[in-house]
Amino acid sequence: MGQQEKVSTSLAGAVSEGISDSLAAVDAELDRRYPGDPGTRQPVHTVYVPGNVFDAGTIRSWGDQALAALDEHAPDAASFAAVLGLSDELAEDVYGRVRAKLEREPIEDLRVDFEDGYAGQDEDQDAARAARLISEAYANGTAAPYMGIRMKCMEAAVRDRGIRTTDVFLTGLLENGGLPDGLVLTLPKVTYPSRSPPSSGSWRPSRRPTASTPAVSASRSRSRPASPSWPPTAPPPSPA
């Protein structure tokens, strides 16, 4: 190592204590809502399929296409190892596991998309169809471990449409047997804390579900903080 630099500080210890005190409520809320890794399964990917394209054969079709690509480019363990630079000791086991995975469960998390990827003409019909197909998939054992929809965001121009699609979808699930385990709803482009999924029951269906209440995930837009304390008083700054 080179010359050691002189390290100096000029802030009083009270500054750090004051910042910590001011964030204590936020820290406590984060600890309450996110107590740590629950040890449950985490999907390795999320596949988005347009709501007007999704059908009963989507998951199997993706798996079959992946298997066809594997057969074309790496039809055996040796060629598979050569492509990925695997050792001979690992090749057979890894190749077998990959093929078995694509045959058994090619998609771990699937979101039927009613946001940017959607190009249908009748969103009500597509949302109702998605609910029926997802219910049937869970009933017959062909569902991905996690499934749901991505609705439109809560921006004013598309808010009513996003809420209606979510309503149609959840109502359809309830009418077809209830909310399945593994159900996830994705709210995109959250630009303001108040447009995030609320902690109250206002997002829950009015009829009692027969399974778990859906998880709601939110994705942030641009680089605005997601903390409930943002902003403390003023509206968020305009994007650059």
Three-state DSSP state, 81: helix
Q: Please, which pLDDT band fits residue 232 given cuts at 50, 70 and 90?
A: very low
- The Cα–Cα gap between 47 and 112 comes to 8
What is the chain's alpha carbon radius of gyration, rounded to the nearest angstrom?
Answer: 23
Q: In which order are the strands placed within the sheet that holds 109-113?
A: 47-50, 109-113, 146-150, 183-190, 215-220
CA distance to 70, 150, 165, per residue, from 53 (Å): 24, 14, 16
Q: Find out whether 208 and 166 touch, Cβ atoms under 8 Å.
A: no
What is the pLDDT at residue 18? Answer: 93
Write down the pLDDT at residue 200.
Answer: 40
Give yes or no for residue 201 having a pLDDT over 90: no
- Residue-wise DSSP of 140-206: HT-S-SEEEEE---SSTTTHHHHHHHHHHHHHHHHHTT-PPTTEEEEEEEE-SGGGSPPSSGGGS-S
The pLDDT, as a whole number, for residue 234 is 37
Tokens 């699609």 sit on residue: 165
Max mean pLDDT among 40-44, 158-162, 213-217 falls in 158-162
Q: Which pTM does this prediction carry?
A: 0.74
Contact call for residues 135 and 173 (beta carbons, < 8 A) = yes
Q: Provide the pLDDT for residue 233.
A: 35
What is the number of H-type helices and E-type strands within the chain? Answer: 7, 5
Contact (Cβ atoms closer than 8 angstroms) between residue 149 and residue 130: yes
Give the tens place of pLDDT for each residue, 77-110: 999 999 999 999 999 999 999 999 999 999 999 9
Tell me, what's the pLDDT at 36? 86
Quote the CA–CA distance of 217 and 38 in Å, as a whole number. 16
pLDDT value, residue 217: 67
Length of the chain: 240
Residue 2 has pLDDT above 90, yes or no: no
Find out whether 135 and 180 touch, Cβ atoms under 8 Å: yes
Q: How far is CA 181 from CA 14, 57, 83, 85, 226, in A?
A: 48, 20, 38, 38, 27
CA dist., res. 109 & res. 49, Å (int): 11
